[in-house]
Structure 1
Amino acid sequence: MHARRLTTGVYTGLLLLLAVYFMPWAQANTLLSASPNQASYSLTPYNEFWLADEQSLTINDLLSQQRTFQRTHQAQDLNFGYTRGDVWLRTQVRNDSPEPQRWIVEFEYPFLDYVTLYTLRQQHSDVQHSGSAVPVEQRALARRQAVFPLELAAHETVTLYTHVAASGSKMLSYNLLTPEAFYTQNDRHNFWLATYFGMLLAMGLYNLLLFFGLKERVFLHYSLFVAGFGLAILAFNGIGTLMFWSFLGENTSRLVALGFTFASTMATLFAQSFLNTEAYCPRWHQVLSTFRNYCWLAVIASLLLPIPAALHLMDVTGFMAALLLLICGSYCSLRRVPSARLFVFAWSIFLLGAGVFALRNLGILPANFITLHGIQIGSALEMLLLSFALASRFNKLKRQKERAQAAMLTALKKQEAALEQKVAARTRALEHLANCDMLTGLLNRHGLARCAKEALERNRQYSQRLALLMLDLDRFKPINDCYGHEAGDFVLQQIAKRIAHLARTGDHCARFGGDEFIIIMENIEPDDTLENIQTRIAEAIRSPIKLPCGERVSVSVSIGVSTCQETDDATLESLLREADSHMYAVKSRQAAKCYRYGSAS
């Protein structure tokens, strides 16, 4: 028995020693030891808070009266909602580095009116101010949310007291970040926010232009809804205060209430126009009209009521509008109202984004980019879908107008098409008459001049080689004399067909005179031998031609060639003169040859 008691006493003593040993470590958990090796810390696990009943309590009053602070155990402990009194936060930060370090204290939620940070050191204390109601030039750092620089000497320990006063909801999650981590995160968030607001601006202006062009009020209602919502989000995110209306002070909160309430009013009006409730669901149209009248009263009340009451009214109005429009859209979807399903899907996404944001504020979901900007993401997707629906509506209206006009313009279009066909056929006939030889179908002199001009231009532009062949028929006149001009015309037609058959794709063949023909050949390759081309042409032309009367005749040809390099400043006239000179030289040689043969015989 005594041994058992002794053993129990030993164990109890050991437990007491362990408790005494670990008690300093438990107390040390309220102290954040910040190491420069880690870029960011959440201050929630190291934080204590106190809800003040007195509005004008100073830091000296707080320190002298020894207020009892409560430990923060989880993120949702720092979500105080619409608490009337101010909130005081307390945490300790120690620099673990042997060198001075610079940190940034960042409050995630931007919609806080006044945030004052007191840094208590051994020798002195610092005071810094920020918040959405504080003018930009008076803030510790000019950023859209409350942020403060924190300088820590080597191994220095400081106590941070933060006083928060806000008319709206108090969500006081805050972090400690290195300047590099803060500015990287801030730039990323600002980029996506700028993209978001740029999208809102583009959609609003686009639909406003559609309203002016089509005179359809649904586009105006959508533009006003986007404008009200965008104005409220600008103020809510702190960007509007940072860039445009820092002078408003506490009235920034009133602007948020006014913007969201006005957006609820325009959303109701847009739903009535978009779903055409007056035609498809008259009872729901009456319900929405009544609620819209209430929304207008809420807009007026947002201007007159105290700011906390205006913000409460904003929350109630927004919730009622979202729920009412979702139920109405679902009913219209069951009634198969056009585009009702897309409307319900868009509003569901918006409510999902708002729900994610609320769950994150309650600490149920972790803090990340999606949960921090749930409302923006949900509203962006919602407005994109509604824009697609409006675009579909625009196309539908366009098709209806086109069908209405089609019945009136059918006869006119037929007549116009018939007239265009006649004009086109007449134009082609005139072009053919102007550019082609009536007998052979080849180019005439006018057509040859036009094609030659274009060919020479391409020759100079693309550095090609061009050749002009002048063909003059020999022994053609006896055919006319013996068989008549009809037989001569028949021979010319057959010769033209043979020339066109031998020509390459892209060559230009023309009848230049009575029995003279021209071939313009572009893009002559270095391995193309003009002598071989002339031989093939001469052989084809010498082939016998059977006349309609049954007789066979044959003609020969004299060919003159002129060429043009890309550097030559040649014209059609110069090429014709050169080819004509060469052709007559060929004729002279052939005549001399025939004379020698005749003398020898």
Structure 2
Amino acid sequence: MHAQRLTAGVYTGLLLLIAVLSVPWAQASSPLSTSPDQASHSLAPYSGFWHADEPSLTINDILAQSITFTPTHHAEDLNFGYTRGDVWLRTQVYNDSPQPQRWMVEFEYPFLDYVTLYTLRQQLSSVQRSGSAVPVEQRALAHRQAVFPLELAAFETVTLYTHVAASGSKMLSYNLLTPERFYTQNDRHNFWLATYFGMLLAMGLYNLLLFFGLKERVFLYYSLFVAGFGLAILAFNGIGTLMFWSFLAENTSRLVALGFTFASAMATLFAQSFLNTEDYCPRWHQVLNTFRSYCWLAVIASLLLPIPSALHIMDVTGFMAALLLLICGSYCSLRRIPSARLFVFAWSLFLLGAGVFALRNLGILPANFITLHGIQIGSALEMLLLSFALASRFNKLKRQKERAQAAMLAALKKQEAMLEQKVAARTKALEHLANCDMLTGLLNRHGLARCTEEALERNRRNGHRLALLMLDLDRFKPINDCYGHEAGDFVLQQIANRIAHMARTGDHCARFGGDEFIIIMENIEPHDTLENIQARIDEAIRSPIKLPCGERVSVSVSVGVSTCQGTEDATLESLLREADSHMYAVKSRQATACYRYGSTN
């Protein structure tokens, strides 16, 4: 009896176990019960997924095959990374309200090529399409993300099947939102995206203008880096496809790969120029040159290889670029290269964002707000810091330019002062040559004319007495004949020195001819008799002169004098005529005296 009961219990247990195992638990996910009181719902806990090996399967094939969907519990369960094949999602939504409801099905990740939503009802079904590769006019809603409107009648239950085909990472977390919640959230996201792209545009254009103004390549490299990065992010976020290049279809993914690999190449150029690695770190400079060659190969590969391969290369290249530049910047920081610390801090933030982006795409990190927007957050902070560093560099260049200009101006002023001194000295030398006798250093005829004209002008104004003394040497020719012209020139120099020594301060002494000299004397006081002046001059000139050869010679002088005092019509010529007349009278008297003296003897 007990054995029969035990046998019956075992069979009953086996039957229950078979029944349990035969129930498709993967499809037994409970439906989402919506309520107007809650504005948003995550669909992940109420969904199941299935990886399709054949991309040509239709919704009818899915329904006919009774495919087993793997249930999900969290949004991270729908992050599949770079998986091959398409993914199907299944969920049920129930309206427990007696009123019709309107909802929006939103996929968080914008970088999905094709997303098709099938809504199965008891009476009819509908098909809606969206995705970054779908033309805007063919989308269920013109939006940068895959968004679908969903209408629910009172107490209606619908089954949602979603077919997702994407060349890139498949992050398929999706939500159910009320229209009010969706548009409020959309406005907030659009504000931050507009701020982000506005910042990129402003920084790119600003540094481009700095390049044109300063001709510093570091600003050009930064602008190109921002341009490549901004283009990739624009395509990645769906804004570029929504507004500019919807016609590219699947090639939008290729544009993302091109933008990021090109930005990596420009980042190496920027780092080399900003850190001046060619001078401070030649080895690192060569390493970055080698890596940039790889980046250009990655750009070419992004154009030629299939899109999934191009996206894999993009992730690897971006992560390697950020890591390599971080290590290079750290090395430069240890060597105390200017601005290296700020560069390291900026690239640390970018590396963190790029790393999160790459690891999320690979399915290693869970999908959330930080991992979804990590590269944008990191790049925004990094570019702001690098802009500060470039602004500091700009100010430094400006200060260097100002110092160089000040130094150049000081050098120009110094050169100008030196030139003015040389011009003044040269002018003085030329004036000396024009006004002075080369042999004796006294005034020549031109200098005598100028000084006499000025002296006569002063004499007319002041009414003082002015005298012109003409000195003609006697017995000078025999010296030239006996001892040569060099000895004669030596005698003239000595006589000129004696005349200049005898003259008062303010008197003007000139050599008028071969052995003729002129003295212009101004402001002659009444007690200054011309006879005494002539006697002193005669005595000084008659003193013997020792020639360089050792011989002693002496000369005499005949002096003619002319005077004026406030006379308006007095000129140098009139004074010279009068003095010359008096001088020849003196010579005649001296000749007569010599003749009488010789006859008496």
Question: Which bin holds the TM-score, normalised by the shorter protein?
Answer: 0.5 to 0.7
Q: CA deviation at 1:118?
A: 0.3
Distance 1:207 1:25 in 2: 59
Query: Does the aligned pair in 2 maintain the 1:75–1:363 contact within 8 Å?
Result: no
Which string of whole-angstrom CA distances, capped at 9 and with x for unpartnered residues, describes residues 63-101 of structure 1?
111111101122222111111100000000001110110
State the alpha-carbon separation in 1 of the partners of residues 59 and 278 from structure 2.
60
With over 3 angstroms needed to count, the CA separation of the structure-2 counterparts of 1:297 and 1:29, relative to structure 1, is closer
2:397 is aligned to 397
Distance 1:239-1:179 versus aligned 2 partners, 3 A rule: same
2:319·2:351 contact (CA, 8 Å) conserved in 1?
A: no
Q: Which amino acid aligns with 2:69?
A: F
CA distance in 2, matches of 1:161, 1:268: 46
Structure 1 distance, partners of 2:357, 2:251, is 24
Which residue of structure 1 lines up, in the alignment, with residue 176 of structure 2?
A: 176
Q: Deviations over 1:282-338 (max 9, x none)?
A: 000000001111111111111111111111111111111111111111111111111
- One-letter code of the match for 1:261? T
Quick one: structure 1 residues 363 and 300, their matched pair in 2 at CA, closer, same or farther if it must change by over 3 Å?
A: closer
The question of whether the paired residues in 2 share the 8 Å contact of 1:97 and 1:155 is answered with yes
Q: How does 1:10-89 map to 2 (within 5 A)?
A: 30-89=30-89
* Correspondence 1:520-599 to 2 at 5 A: none
CA contact (8 A) 2:196 2:380 kept: yes
Whether contact under 8 Å (1:33, 1:95) holds in the other structure is yes
Q: How far off its partner does 1:356 sit?
A: 5.0
TM-score (norm 1): 0.63
- Taking the TM superposition and a 5 Å limit, the aligned residue runs for 1:103-142 are 103-142=103-142
Aligned AA (1:48): G
Q: Counterpart of 1:187 in structure 2: which amino acid?
A: D
Letter in 1 for 2:83: T
Residues 95-135 of structure 1, C-alpha deviation per residue, up to 9 Å, x if partnerless? 11101100000000000000000000001110000000000
- 1:151 corresponding residue in structure 2: 151
Describe the shift of the 1:26–1:99 C-alpha distance in structure 2 as closer, same or farther (beyond 3 A): farther
Distance 1:321 1:357, change over 3 A: closer
Once superposed, what is the RMSD of the aligned Cα atoms? 2.8
Residues 120 and 263 (structure 1), Cα distance of their counterparts in 2 relative to 1, 3 Å cut = same
Q: Could you say if the C-alpha distance between residues 116 and 26 of structure 1 is closer, same or farther in structure 2, counting changes exceeding 3 Å?
A: closer
1:306 aligns with 2:306: yes
- Structure 2 counterpart of 1:335: 335
- The answer to whether the aligner puts 1:317 opposite 2:317 as a matched pair is yes
How far does the alpha carbon of each residue in 1:136-183 deviate from its partner, in whole angstroms, 9 at most, with x for none?
A: 000000000000000000000000000000000000000000000000
Residue 367 (structure 1) aligns with:
368
Cα distance change, pair 123–337 in 1 and its aligned pair in 2 (3 A): same
Distance in 2 separating the partners of 1:357 and 1:303: 22
* Cα distance in structure 1, aligned partners of 2:141 and 2:322: 36
Alignment CA distance shift 1:221-1:26 (3 Å): closer
Letter in 2 for 1:380: A
Query: Given that residues 74 and 363 in structure 1 are in contact (C-alpha distance below 8 angstroms), is that contact kept between their aligned partners in structure 2?
Result: no
Counterpart for residue 461 of structure 1: none
Q: What is the aligned residue count?
A: 402
**8 Å contact from structure 2 (residues 128, 140) kept in 1:** yes
Distance 1:414 1:119, change over 3 A: same
Q: Matches of 1:140 and 1:227 in 2, distance apart? A: 31
Q: Deviations over 1:32-63 (max 9, x none)?
A: 00111100000010110000000111111111
Residue of structure 1 in register with 2:206 after alignment: 206
Q: Secondary structure at the match of 1:347?
A: helix
Letter of the structure 1 residue corresponding to residue 394 of structure 2:
F
Q: Which letter maps to 1:262?
A: F
The more displaced of 29-38 and 277-286 is: 29-38
Contact kept? 1:360, 1:367, Cα under 8 Å: no
Residues 482-493 of structure 1 aligned to structure 2 (within 5 Å): none
Q: Distance in 1 between matches of 2:119 and 2:296?
A: 46
Report deviation, 1:399: 1.2
State the shift of 1:358 in Å: 6.3
Instruction: In structure 2, give the amino acid aligned to 1:195.
Output: T
Q: Residue 76 of structure 1 aligns to a residue in which SS? A: helix
Query: Is 1:195 the counterpart of 2:195 in the alignment?
Result: yes
- Cα shift readout 1:230-288 (whole Å, capped 9, x = no counterpart): 00000000000000000110000000000001000000110111110000000000000
CA spacing shift, 1:360–1:32, aligned 2, 3 Å: farther
SS in 2 for 1:373: helix
* 1:144 alignment partner, SS class: coil
Give the unaligned 5+ runs of structure 2: 417-601
Distance in 2, matches of 1:391 and 1:156, equals: 61
* Deviation per residue, 1:378-401 (Å, 9 max, x gap): 101100100110111111111111
What amino acid maps onto 1:196 in structure 2? Answer: Y
Cα contact 2:45–2:73 (8 A) shared by 1: yes
Amino acid at match of 1:133: A
2:242 aligns with: 242
Looking at structure 1, the residues matched to 27 and 84 of structure 2 have their Cα atoms a distance apart, in angstroms, of 31
SS of aligned partner of 2:33: strand
Q: Return closer, same or farther for 1:178/1:358 CA change in 2, 3 Å cut-off.
A: farther
User: Which residue pairs with 1:283 in the alignment?
Assistant: 283
Displacement, 1:407?
A: 1.7
Alpha-carbon distance in structure 2 between the residues aligned to 1:218 and 1:111:
32
1:61 aligned partner, one-letter code: D
Match of 1:257 in 2: 257
1:486-539 residue CA offsets vs partner (Å, 9 max, x unmatched):
xxxxxxxxxxxxxxxxxxxxxxxxxxxxxxxxxxxxxxxxxxxxxxxxxxxxxx
AA aligned to 1:297 is L
Distance in 2 of aligned mates of 1:364 and 1:51: 20
User: Identity over the aligned pairs, expressed in percent?
Assistant: 88
Q: Secondary structure at the match of 2:84?
A: coil
Q: Distance in 2 between matches of 1:332 and 1:317?
A: 22
Contact 1:86 1:165 in 2 (8 A): yes
Distance 1:357 1:298 in 2: 18
CA contact (8 A) 2:26 2:48 kept: no
Q: Secondary structure at the match of 2:338?
A: coil
CA distance in 1, matches of 2:97, 2:183: 22
Task: Quote the offset at 1:26 in angstroms.
Answer: 12
Residue 587 of structure 2 corresponds to none
3-state SS, counterpart of residue 109 of structure 2? coil
User: 8 Å contact 1:222–1:267 — kept in the other structure?
Assistant: yes
Match of 1:292 in 2: 292
Q: Which amino acid aligns with 1:31?
A: P
What is the distance in 2 between the residues matched to 1:41 and 1:414? 79
What is the CA-CA distance between 1:359 and the residue it aligns to? Answer: 7.3
2-side partners of 1:260 and 1:378: how far apart? 14
Structure 1: gaps spanning 5 or more residues = 417-601
Structure 1: how far apart are the matches of 2:386 and 2:121? 55
Specify whether residues 281 and 364 from structure 1 end up closer, same or farther in structure 2 by C-alpha distance, changes over 3 A only: closer
Larger Rg: 2
Distance 1:54 1:364, change over 3 A: closer
